Chain A
Amino acid sequence: MNFKLKDIGPQLMTVIAVVLVFGFFTYNAQVNMENRGIDFGYGFLSQESSFDVQFSLIEYDGSHSYFRAYLVGLLNTILVSVIGIFFATILGVIVGIARLSSNYLINKFAAFYVEFFRNIPLLLQIFFWYFAALRALPLPQDAEAMFGVAFLTIKGLFVPAFIWQNFNIFFYSIIAAIIAIIVIRYQAKKLQETQGKQTPVLLISIGLILVLPLISFLIGGVRLSFEVPVLKQLATTSFIYEGGVSLPPELIALALSLSLYTATFIAECVRAGIQGIGKGQKEAAASIGLTPNQVLKLVVMPQALRIIIPPTTNQYLNLTKNSSLAAAIAYPDLVLVFAGTALMQTGKAIEIVSITMFTYLSLSIAISLFMNWYNNKIAIQEK
């Protein structure tokens, strides 16, 4: 009996303490809100929001509900996070490998980049890229065309819009190519395991992903045309581009600063991963006749990834959470649209902040789960 109490006691006390603390906060909030005549409830989510948002991936204007505004903010947060993670990863891997280069210039340049960008607060970098870029970029009427069709101006990046005919056929051709590649990879692996034959999988894959969509153009009736942005005069000195797709400078500045900042940390993860592989591994691989490419692909990287993935997951999570600094430069992310404007217009502070916190938590957990799954997949398989 005594033995059991000793076992359960501390845990029971912890649970009671947690319940009491949460209970106290809830009770306290309830009493105070009642005293001040504030209602609690999530009913406002279905009310008309009556404010507009600058940039949205789904159709939205002020006549939609607050819930729709929440989705707009959430999608914008996801968009900038995905763009940021994509570029931060590419840049991080390149810089990480560059730091190990034997070329003095490349090596030192990569080291300088890492030390410079990771040691300046992110908010300052965001302000720098936003306001410096705003000051440096031309007004729409002065902008030089890039490739004759795109314009980078103070009011954003204006690029041609794709206008598709029979887009679904094109889409199916891509799907077909992807399925074909998966099948070929599987077959190639089998072939290698049973007969030791090497197949140039990469070349075949590239060929497939190019050729199949090309066929859809030639005989599938797919047509692609471009809508090029056209300069339009609003007033004597005020211009804008119409038509095409416009990316707001806020999105560009935010994605740029998030990528540059996070890439420094990813570069260090990559460097640590590669340096973590013993020299003997490479020498042993070379001694059994693998080419340098094969050494990297088959021996070094699979092991290095196991070291790289867990800390890189942290950086992905950081980037996603850091994207909430968007509010400072008017990029309409979840914090600006929902925890900002919507909170102000409804006054539902507790409800909105709780939803926002829960959303970031879910986003982070989703990224974590995916990266853990990937990490397990590449981990040493005990057979």
Chain B
Amino acid sequence: MFKYLKQLTSLAAMLAVLFTFTTESMAAKKSKTLKNTQKKGFVRCGVSQGLPGFSNADAAGNWTGIDVDVCRAVAAAVLGDANKVKFTPLSAKERFTALTSGEIDILSRNTTWTLSRDADIGLTFVGVNFYDGQGFMVRKSSGITSTSQFKNGISACTNIGTTTELNMRDFFNSKGIKYEPVAFEKADEVVAAYDAGRCDTYTTDKSGLAAQRTKMSNPDEHIVLPETVSKEPLGPVVRQGDSVWEDIVRWSLNTMIEAEEYGITSANADMMKTSDNPAIKRLVGAEGEMGAAFGLDNEWNLRIIKQVGNYGESYKRNIADTGILPDRGPNELWTKGGILYVPPSR
């Protein structure tokens, strides 16, 4: 009798172990970051210390911007509420360490996608939410209208820890111009120093120049030169090693862009459920099992569109209507002459 009991208990133990393994592997498939996020009840998102149009906090501490909207989209998808985001303002220097050390789970901070960043430092770029390029700002009174008028001895203010610092060197070297780089840790100090007259030119991504210009004592005194000296594809970044979380962030962004392509907006998303177009129905969770692979329900994408809106709405709200860059330029859909083109949700 006891003999059997012993065998029975060992069998039960084995089953128990097996069962734990299977549930464990399913949970693991759901991704550790996702699990932690759902347990905490908010998405931990790293943003800039204040760049109008991209990530900027108002007096009441509410964050807005297209970078902020990426995090809100993820929160809507995984938590059901776009407001459940904890924003951490980071300097250019701190941002990657904050992400790799696990202080934040998404870095959505006008960050340029480059080979070395993607490959070297344990990060994965999931997409591009703004196509940008480096430019130069000068005082109108200087009479400079093109970078070809730059001369030896010019001083240029910028941020440290950015691709800007490297591009600046490439640019001035290729033109054979000797320059004085003045690099600050925080953007506000760059603007203050340039505004005071410390530098002849202020260089960073063109969107950044347009946004920072609004902060100057007299914005009309400054112009952004027409030349673009580099490619700066800006996009959200996640830690390497959690491919499910990576996919969630990537497809949250893709959903916003594709929704614009199909004309789905925050206002009409619910009505689109009865659309004849299966591509549209997939985007509002009315067809297919588009959330299961992420461990999410089927309406995750519908929530993004309803709560945050499509990419066009986000751009208009944050960048066009604020007067930063009314013209979408390359950030227009591929169907309308831009280069925004995302893989299909199917």
Where the two chains meet, the residues of A that have a C-beta atom closer than 8 Å to any C-beta of B are 33, 35-39, 50-54, 61-62, 131, 134-135, 139, 154-155, 232, 234-238, 240, 242, 248-250, 327-330, 332, 336, 340-341, 343-347, 349
A35 to chain B, nearest CB (A): 6
Whether B154 lies near A329 (C-beta < 8 A) is: no
Report the 7 A-B pairs with minimum CB-CB distance, sorted nearest first.
Answer: A347-B121, A344-B161, A36-B122, A236-B143, A235-B142, A134-B196, A38-B122
CB-defined A-B contacts under 8 Å, sample of 24: A51-B166, A52-B179, A62-B169, A131-B196, A134-B196, A232-B153, A234-B142, A234-B200, A235-B200, A236-B143, A236-B144, A237-B141, A237-B143, A238-B200, A242-B153, A328-B184, A330-B183, A336-B160, A343-B161, A344-B93, A345-B116, A346-B120, A347-B117, A347-B121
Main secondary structure of the interface of B (DSSP, over half): mixed
In addition to A33-B122, A344-B96, A345-B165, 10 A-B residue pairs with Cβ atoms within 8 Å of each other are: A36-B100, A36-B239, A53-B181, A131-B196, A134-B198, A237-B141, A328-B185, A343-B161, A344-B161, A347-B122
Cα-based distance from A269 to B189 in the complex (angstroms): 35
Cα-based distance from A238 to B141 in the complex (angstroms): 9
Cβ of B240 < 8 Å from any Cβ of A?
A: yes
Cβ of B193 < 8 Å from any Cβ of A?
A: yes
Cβ of B149 < 8 Å from any Cβ of A?
A: yes
Cα-based distance from A159 to B119 in the complex (angstroms): 47
Whether A50 lies near B142 (C-beta < 8 A) is: no
Cα-based distance from A248 to B154 in the complex (angstroms): 14
A211 to chain B, nearest CB (A): 41
Main secondary structure of the interface of A (DSSP, over half): mixed
Residues of A within 8 A of B179 (CB): 52
B261 to chain A, nearest CB (A): 34
Which residue of chain B has its CB nearest to the CB of A50? B166
Whether A343 lies near B93 (C-beta < 8 A) is: yes
Residues of B within 8 A of A131 (CB): 192-193, 196
Among A328, A340, A347, the residue within 8 A (CB) of B96 is A347
Known: A50-B169, A51-B166, A238-B200. A36 touches B241 (CB 8 A): yes
Cβ of B162 < 8 Å from any Cβ of A?
A: yes
B16 to chain A, nearest CB (A): 28
Cα-based distance from A344 to B183 in the complex (angstroms): 13
Q: Mask for B137-150, Cβ within 8 A of A = 1, else 0?
A: 01101111000011
Residues of B within 8 A of A329 (CB): 184, 189
Among B155, B166, B193, the residue within 8 A (CB) of A240 is B155
Cβ of B197 < 8 Å from any Cβ of A?
A: yes
Known: A232-B153, A234-B151, A238-B200. A340 touches B169 (CB 8 A): no
Cα-based distance from A6 to B198 in the complex (angstroms): 66
Whether A37 lies near B185 (C-beta < 8 A) is: no
Cα-based distance from A349 to B101 in the complex (angstroms): 10
Among B117, B143, B186, the residue within 8 A (CB) of A235 is B143
Cα-based distance from A56 to B185 in the complex (angstroms): 18
B202 to chain A, nearest CB (A): 13
Whether A341 lies near B165 (C-beta < 8 A) is: yes
Q: Which of B116, B142, B185 has most chain A Cβ within 10 Å?
A: B185
Cα-based distance from A38 to B186 in the complex (angstroms): 27
Residues of B within 8 A of A155 (CB): 155, 198
Whether B142 lies near A340 (C-beta < 8 A) is: no
A230 to chain B, nearest CB (A): 11
Residues of A within 8 A of B116 (CB): 345, 347
Among B100, B141, B161, B198, the residue within 8 A (CB) of A249 is B198
Cβ of B180 < 8 Å from any Cβ of A?
A: yes
A154 to chain B, nearest CB (A): 5
Whether A330 lies near B122 (C-beta < 8 A) is: no
B53 to chain A, nearest CB (A): 23
Cα-based distance from A232 to B154 in the complex (angstroms): 11
Cα-based distance from A61 to B157 in the complex (angstroms): 17
Residues of B within 8 A of A340 (CB): 93, 160-161, 185
Cα-based distance from A242 to B155 in the complex (angstroms): 13
B 291-338 contacts with A by CB, 8 A: none
Residues of A within 8 A of B141 (CB): 236-237
Cα-based distance from A336 to B153 in the complex (angstroms): 22
Whether B185 lies near A327 (C-beta < 8 A) is: yes
Residues of A within 8 A of B169 (CB): 50-52, 61-62
Whether B183 lies near A336 (C-beta < 8 A) is: yes
Known: A341-B183, A343-B93. A51 touches B143 (CB 8 A): no
Cα-based distance from A232 to B92 in the complex (angstroms): 34
A28 to chain B, nearest CB (A): 11
Whether A54 lies near B182 (C-beta < 8 A) is: yes
Which residue of chain B has its CB nearest to the CB of A350? B97
Cα-based distance from A340 to B93 in the complex (angstroms): 6
Whether A54 lies near B100 (C-beta < 8 A) is: no
Cα-based distance from A50 to B170 in the complex (angstroms): 8
Whether A234 lies near B153 (C-beta < 8 A) is: yes
Cα-based distance from A329 to B197 in the complex (angstroms): 14
Residues of A within 8 A of B181 (CB): 51-54
Whether A330 lies near B189 (C-beta < 8 A) is: yes
Whether B184 lies near A36 (C-beta < 8 A) is: no
Known: A134-B197, A242-B153. A328 touches B166 (CB 8 A): no
Whether A154 lies near B198 (C-beta < 8 A) is: yes
Known: A344-B162, A345-B166. A330 touches B184 (CB 8 A): yes
Q: Which of A50, A51, A139, A346 has most chain B Cβ within 10 Å?
A: A51
Residues of B within 8 A of A240 (CB): 153-155
Whether A37 lies near B189 (C-beta < 8 A) is: no
Cα-based distance from A52 to B182 in the complex (angstroms): 10
